[in-house]
Amino acid sequence: MDCLSSHVSRRRISLGIASMLLLAIATAPRIRAQGCVPIKEMSDQTPSIEGISLASGADKWDFTESYEHFRSYLDYVGSQDMTPGRAALTNQVINVVDQFDTALSYSFNPRDTASLDVAYFAATRSQLVKGLGRFKTRANDLGDTRLGVSRWMFDPASSPRGNLSLGLGLSVPTGKSNVKDYFHTTTGLVYKNVDQSIQPGLGGWGYIFEGSAYFRVLPTTTLYANGFYMVTPQNVNGTRTSSAITSETAFDSIYDQYELRAGVTQQLVRFQHGALNGSLGGRWEGVPSDDLVGRSDGFRRPGYVLSIEPGLSYVLPHDSLSLSVPVAEYMNRTQSYPDTLTGGHGDAFFAKFLVLISYSHRW
């Protein structure tokens, strides 16, 4: 095989792997939330998939713009659905969130990548005051910034069928965690901090551990798995809640977050210069009741969501466009640490589905 045909062959292999893995690894926004359970950090800094099969001549830079939308209205205490009762009283709390994420990554070589993510967060929270009707509070601002590095553990050139990437990240508290707005009350307007679930920032530093893996079982079929855990050693962020100053929930908590995804991608249609692909997987994401490191005081709504995640992507050698729509199948608002002290069990509102759109350009 001459040099030109060998290069073209490698490019085809690379595009094939990229088209199968893009939805599984590189489609989701990095900054997320799930209704009142505020999952604010989305991992996934896997190096450019183009670098998996090309030991030389691979694209170095990757620019990704991502968007997420959801509307949360399903009320849960534990795993019990309280929505019918809330709907009958028309007093559901409804969050509508639009999140934008701009990410830039650089591959030093086919195995090692560094990245920078900047987020913008826009949300409204609608709630009912008896006798006054509904009102909305809003929060629109930059979110937390993320720095990350990752490495493919095996040489992509010699391991084209499968690989494992491990990464470390730092979440920098650039987003505001004390955005204020006017609340309607029976005694008039009150200017105070908006609810934790629509605060753009966490208010503390996060240390992220992540991993991604894939295995190509057939030429057009690939299994994938990826996930992250963000450790937050700090306790509370100083943002006052409505609770009394002596209460365990007087301030918002700085909380850990996690996510795990796994599934299969399938090339559906191959074109001359690109491919249309589909994926189907499972997603588990949440906020734990107790942090892995440090205390877990303050106000938080811990819980988790199990979702089915279908998706589509169109991949070209240097560009890709992806859509995925995780649909929640199981929701659980777990007890927080303050709940365990009082014997209570708070509720949280969840979204039935998310809309995730991502565009990437590599050069």
The SS3 of residue 12 is helix
78's tokens: 């534990």
What is the rounded distance in angstroms from the CA atom of residue 193 to the CA atom of residue 183? 9
* pLDDT-derived band at 38, boundaries 50, 70, 90: low
pTM of whole model > 0.85?
yes
- Secondary element (H or E) of residue 299: none
pLDDT digits (tens, 9 = 90+) for 206-260: 999 999 999 999 999 999 999 999 999 999 999 999 877 778 889 999 999 999 9
Domain range for residue 187? 3-362
Going by their DSSP bridges, the two strands 319-324 and 94-107 should be labelled as unpaired
Assign residue 345 the CATH number of its domain: 2.40.128.130
Q: Are 97 and 126 in contact (CB under 8 A)?
A: no
Tally of structural domains, the chain: 1
**pLDDT for residue 168 is more than 90:** yes
Closest by CA position to 324, among listed 359, 354, 283: 354
- Residue 111 DSSP code: S
Closest by CA position to 234, among listed 292, 289, 168: 292
